[in-house]
Amino acid sequence: MFDRFLASLSQVPDAVLARCISLVENGVPGYEAFMQQLPEPTSRLIGITGPPGAGKSTLVDALIAAMVAENKRVGVICVDPSSPFNLGALLGDRIRMSQWYTHPQVFIRSLATRGSLGGLHPRILEISSVMQAAGFDYVLVETVGVGQSEIEIAGLADTTLVVVVPEAGDEVQTMKAGLMEIADIFIVNKSDRPDADMFVKNLRHMMPSANMGKDPNWQIPVIKTVASKQEGVDELITAINEHGKTVQSKERKFWLLTEKAYHLIQQKKMNHIEKAILKEQIQHLVQQGAFNLYQFIQTID
């Protein structure tokens, strides 16, 4: 299956892509050699994050519609929260995007976080690289929406979109310590609600501090959308494309590559550790009355 993927890189068939993602997701033998043969990605990787209820799925649906209208091919990764017991996705496939599942220009894959604290799948980096190699113009990654811990996406995406709603006005100050710093573009969704204009104005006043440490040539835009009505989406796509042109500085590229390398090294070092085995070991020690958490972790190589 990996060979079939590599033989059709310009436009990989959906069935082949889906199977390869499953093989990579489950770490089957040979997937690491496959990853090493993937070419330099050419498609734009767009991360969409923000607190629960901000309308991320609706916005992704609107982005797909606008991109398809421009005759673009779109790959979508939806990361759902997972059950802490069986690690399966709790939400499953997104109902709002159901119209796109059989569209020839769109490929959608839902993943579970599998216990990852950053709002992403443990192998999201590898899976997104596979998607980028499959000939899409854009790859959209929608994260779970778990609040300020959801900053891993900034180390993965070429452009990070942070979606908020007007009611988040009282939370903006606390957001500065988390989601504020990772945004390349801010979207105020559901902007037809009361007080939206005031919220946007306050958010724009905060942009100079949020831009600290980023490319000085990019001023973070705040874009108003009503995703359910497709309002503001064309302006958002224009901003995404402009960000791609102006912010690919060497410093940004080196930072992204460093974050990705760190993630992969960390994953490789932890590869031999399985939660099920840890649970058995802990259960045995607890039953023996000899369990101390901090002594236990020192025994793990």
Please compute the mean of the pLDDT values over residues 200-217 and round it to a whole number.
Answer: 69
Could you tell me the two tokens for 145?
């929406």
Same-domain check for residues 83 and 224: yes
- 214: domain CATH number is 3.40.50.300
Q: What is the pTM of this model?
A: 0.82
Q: DSSP assignment, residue 219?
A: P
Same-domain check for residues 263 and 275: no
Please report whether residue 248 resides in a domain: yes
Please compute the mean of the pLDDT values over residues 54-61 and round it to a whole number.
Answer: 90
Q: Which residues pair with 186 in a beta bridge?
A: 162, 222
Same-domain check for residues 290 and 229: no
Please compute the mean of the pLDDT values over residues 56-79 and round it to a whole number.
Answer: 93
Same-domain check for residues 145 and 218: yes
More confident residue, 166 or 215: 166
Give the list of residues 6+ apart from residue 279 with CB closer than 8 angstroms, or none. Answer: none
Same-domain check for residues 260 and 285: no
Rounded CA-CA distance 283/67 in Å is 51
Domain count, the chain: 2
Looking at every residue in the chain, the average pLDDT score rounds to: 81
Predicted confidence (pLDDT) at residue 120 exceeds the cutoff of 80: no
| Helix H or strand E encompassing 282 | helix 275-287
Please report whether residue 22 resides in a domain: no
Rounded CA-CA distance 116/62 in Å is 27
Please report whether residue 186 resides in a domain: yes
Same-domain check for residues 228 and 279: no
One-letter amino acid at 38 equals: L
> Helices 124-132 & 14-25, crossing angle to 10 degrees?
160
Same-domain check for residues 137 and 149: yes
Q: Looking at residue 1, what is its pLDDT?
A: 84
Same-domain check for residues 248 and 259: yes
Same-domain check for residues 299 and 210: no
Please compute the mean of the pLDDT values over residues 186-201 and round it to a whole number.
Answer: 91
DSSP characters over 29-87 = TTHHHHHHTPPPP-SEEEEEE-STTS-HHHHHHHHHHHHHHTT--EEEEEEE-B-TTT-
Please report whether residue 232 resides in a domain: yes
Please report whether residue 7 resides in a domain: no
Same-domain check for residues 173 and 184: yes
Same-domain check for residues 79 and 216: yes
Nearest to 34 by CA among 3, 64, 68, 70: 3
Please report whether residue 10 resides in a domain: no
Residue-range definition of the domain harbouring residue 296: 271-301
pLDDT tier at 81, thresholds 50, 70, 90:
low
Rounded CA-CA distance 286/289 in Å is 5
Q: Looking at residue 177, what is its pLDDT?
A: 54
Same-domain check for residues 160 and 291: no
Please report whether residue 120 resides in a domain: yes
Rounded CA-CA distance 20/34 in Å is 10
Please compute the mean of the pLDDT values over residues 39-51 and round it to a whole number.
Answer: 87
pLDDT tier at 79, thresholds 50, 70, 90:
confident
